[in-house]
Structure 1
Amino acid sequence: MPSVPQAPQWDVHRLPRARGRSFLVTGGNAGIGYFVAEQLAGTGATVVLGSRDRAKAEDAIASIGSRVPGAKVKHVSLDLADLASLKTTVDALGLDRLDAVVHNAGVALDHPPRRETADGHELMFATNHLGHFALTHHLAPLLMATPGSRVVTTGSFAAKSERLDLDDLQSTHHYQPKHAYARSKLAQMLFALELDRRLRANASTTLSVLVHPGGALDSLTPSRPPVHVRTVGERLSRLPLSLVVQGKDAAAWPAVRAALDPSVRGGQMLSPRAFGLRGTPRIEPLWKQLTDVPTAARLWAASCDLTGNVPTFTSPRRLGATEGPATGHGQADVATE
């Protein structure tokens, strides 16, 4: 009996060429987002850095250009905490196609007091979840115009032990910064999976893929001056931790694979191979709370109310199919590799 040919193993150091394709990376001027952008730029694609700080974005573009000859990287002003600005951001992209958006940007506060945006939303929930939810709504026409496009959402290991309080999504009554951050990331992850269910229900070719980067330390991250500078002393002092966690360059690998790998399917979650903390990216079974479809549907409805947006990936003749919560499951809720 003839053997079934195996798909080639994904190689983080030999990415497929993506010339002619376009990617948007939110928060692409620093941290993990910078390395997602650098690695995608190395494929020949056009990469747009979504960032509030133009000067930092220009530094990132210069750094990528110094390492990737001929890199096609540009900046678009993006403030996820300002919902009213997001349509203007998308209009300014100047693209006629978008192969993937990587929802990477995030805010993590360490100490009280609780902070709100101008719209009155708790800052971390607004930036990490609501902003990306609304951005997806505005990007839908571009993504629909691109067969096989992807929405890649970055979750966090911190969300694994959390549960959403649907009656206090914005931590109005019980604000603890660490928990508020973790719940905002859990909301992002539930959004990614609910989006996948709705895409599948409408037979869209756009995929929604979930990733989490594992443990990432600045001290294990290679220097990219002036974006990031690591001293020899910092690296040596943290070297033992490299057995458990990794640098932000490696933490970018799950998102890059999610954006590029043709074998990835909607509804899958990619994470570092070793205990979800370090190593090459693999497809991981969904955590138990991520399979809570009713909670994800209620979160979707609440997000629509809070943002005034309804992300829709369907032709006008099928708009009725998106009404009400989707109850189907993604293609690979418990896929393993």
Structure 2
Amino acid sequence: MPSATSSAPSPSSPWDVQRLPRADGRVFLVTGGNAGIGYFVAEQLSATGATVVLGSRSPAKAAAAESSIRSRVPGARVRTVRLDLADLSSLGASVDSLKVELRVELGVECLDAVVLNAGVALDDPPREETGDGHELMFGTNHLGHFVLTQRLMPLLSAAPAARVVTMGSFAAKSERLDLDDLQSRQDYRPKRTYGRSKLAQMYFGLELDRRLRAADSTVSSVVAHPGGALDSLTPSRPPVHVRTAGARLRGAPAAVLVQGKHAGAWPAVRAVLDPDVRGGQLWGPRAFGLRGKPHPEPIWPHLADTDVAKRLWAASCALSPSGV
């Protein structure tokens, strides 16, 4: 568990993943904060003194994650909110619930950052849909976060300098969007569809920052990705994650190239906390984009296509509930 120091690093100081800057009084929301990389993002942010809200579809899993964080981070300020990204029409009520929680329990009416981390990854056919009729991975990973961010914007805009941090995926680097088949009705291959859903998220994060800059907003948008992050290289956090001795031994050779999910959280955590991070940046692991400490990467060439980003934005608006 990283410890937190009393002051933020200067631009000339190297970022230390084990000694994070304090963030007392700030409030961060992590979607999917109950498991995987999202859990470790939440645990690490909790060590800074901030209040961390775990957004989760399952209250039971959120409670287990909250308990785990509290057992590892003395005095952790952790809360939960029910959040089902596959049900777009429910997100307004979830944000309303969060507003009440912040106002009544914490006495604040703003949000300093949201980490858009939650996601669905299917390995096998058949193609599945959300209750709204969207392909499950695209509908949850991209559209769910697209709508949620719009709903959260008043809370984010009320903070002095809030950040939206979108967690992409290294799997998106080799994919390209098919704007005529965003729902994968014509060509459904689970791994490709997953990669494209994460690519759509990354396009959204970059386009969001361009729109925020054009509106002279105090909110900024940053994109991050975890590199290669395996369960077998991830330390145990029972009952959230339990790594057996056998899994640890089997995963050891892979540690040359990739890392655990605790390290996969580092780029997003830095994107939230580092005062030198700027909107429109892409952050990932230092070593070949797969492992190591977080650093800024050049924007991938296909992500720099602003025409694709604008067309995706328009399509996302058309697929979203009215009022978004």
Match of 1:67 in 2: 72
- The answer (yes or no) to whether the contact 1:211–1:269 under 8 Å persists in 2 is yes
**Deviation at 1:10?**
1.0
**Deviation at 1:6?**
5.0
1:77-226 superposed matches below 5 A? 77-93=82-98, 94-95=101-102, 96-226=109-239
**Deviation at 1:279?**
0.3
1:250 aligns with 2:255: no
**Deviation at 1:310?**
7.1
- The answer (yes or no) to whether the contact 2:26–2:112 under 8 Å persists in 1 is yes
Gaps of 5+ in 2: 1-9, 103-108
SS of aligned partner of 2:216 = coil
1:36 to 41, 46, 57: 41
Match of 1:262 in 2: 275
SS of aligned partner of 1:165 = coil
1:277 aligns with 2:282: no
**Deviation at 1:162?**
1.0
SS of aligned partner of 1:75 = strand
- The answer (yes or no) to whether the contact 1:51–1:79 under 8 Å persists in 2 is yes
1:226-237 superposed matches below 5 A? 226-237=239-250
SS of aligned partner of 2:20 = coil
CA distance in structure 1 between the partners assigned to 2:249 and 2:191 by the alignment: 29
Match of 2:51 in 1: 46
CA distance in structure 2 between the partners assigned to 1:164 and 1:24 by the alignment: 28
Partner AA of 2:77 in structure 1: K
- The answer (yes or no) to whether the contact 2:46–2:52 under 8 Å persists in 1 is yes
2:22 to 17, 25, 31: 17
- The answer (yes or no) to whether the contact 2:89–2:321 under 8 Å persists in 1 is no
Partner AA of 2:43 in structure 1: E
CA distance in structure 1 between the partners assigned to 2:12 and 2:257 by the alignment: 29
What are the superposed Cα offsets for residues 195-241 of structure 1, whole Å, 9 maximum, x if unpaired? 01000101111110000000011111011011111122221221111
Match of 2:105 in 1: none
CA distance in structure 2 between the partners assigned to 1:18 and 1:263 by the alignment: 15
What are the superposed Cα offsets for residues 280-305 of structure 1, whole Å, 9 maximum, x if unpaired? 00000011110000010000001011
SS of aligned partner of 2:78 = strand
- The answer (yes or no) to whether the contact 1:51–1:75 under 8 Å persists in 2 is yes
CA distance in structure 1 between the partners assigned to 2:323 and 2:233 by the alignment: 40
Superposition TM-score, scaled by structure 2 size? 0.93
- The answer (yes or no) to whether the contact 1:25–1:37 under 8 Å persists in 2 is yes
- The answer (yes or no) to whether the contact 1:137–1:310 under 8 Å persists in 2 is no
Runs of 4+ in 1 over 2 A off after TM superposition: 308-311
Superposition TM-score, scaled by structure 1 size? 0.89
Match of 2:302 in 1: 289
1:298 to 311, 317, 324: 311
- The answer (yes or no) to whether the contact 2:88–2:321 under 8 Å persists in 1 is no
Partner AA of 2:42 in structure 1: A
**Deviation at 1:7?**
2.4
- The answer (yes or no) to whether the contact 2:11–2:276 under 8 Å persists in 1 is no
C-alpha root-mean-square deviation of aligned residues, in Å? 1.1
CA distance in structure 2 between the partners assigned to 1:56 and 1:25 by the alignment: 14
Partner AA of 2:14 in structure 1: Q
Match of 1:316 in 2: none
CA distance in structure 2 between the partners assigned to 1:240 and 1:115 by the alignment: 35
CA distance in structure 1 between the partners assigned to 2:22 and 2:309 by the alignment: 35
- The answer (yes or no) to whether the contact 1:102–1:152 under 8 Å persists in 2 is yes
Q: Percent identity?
A: 70
- The answer (yes or no) to whether the contact 2:147–2:320 under 8 Å persists in 1 is yes
Partner AA of 1:60 in structure 2: A
Partner AA of 1:36 in structure 2: V
Number of aligned residue pairs: give it: 307
Q: Specify whether residues 36 and 309 from structure 1 end up closer, same or farther in structure 2 by C-alpha distance, changes over 3 A only.
A: farther
- The answer (yes or no) to whether the contact 1:134–1:309 under 8 Å persists in 2 is no
1:57 to 59, 62, 78: 62
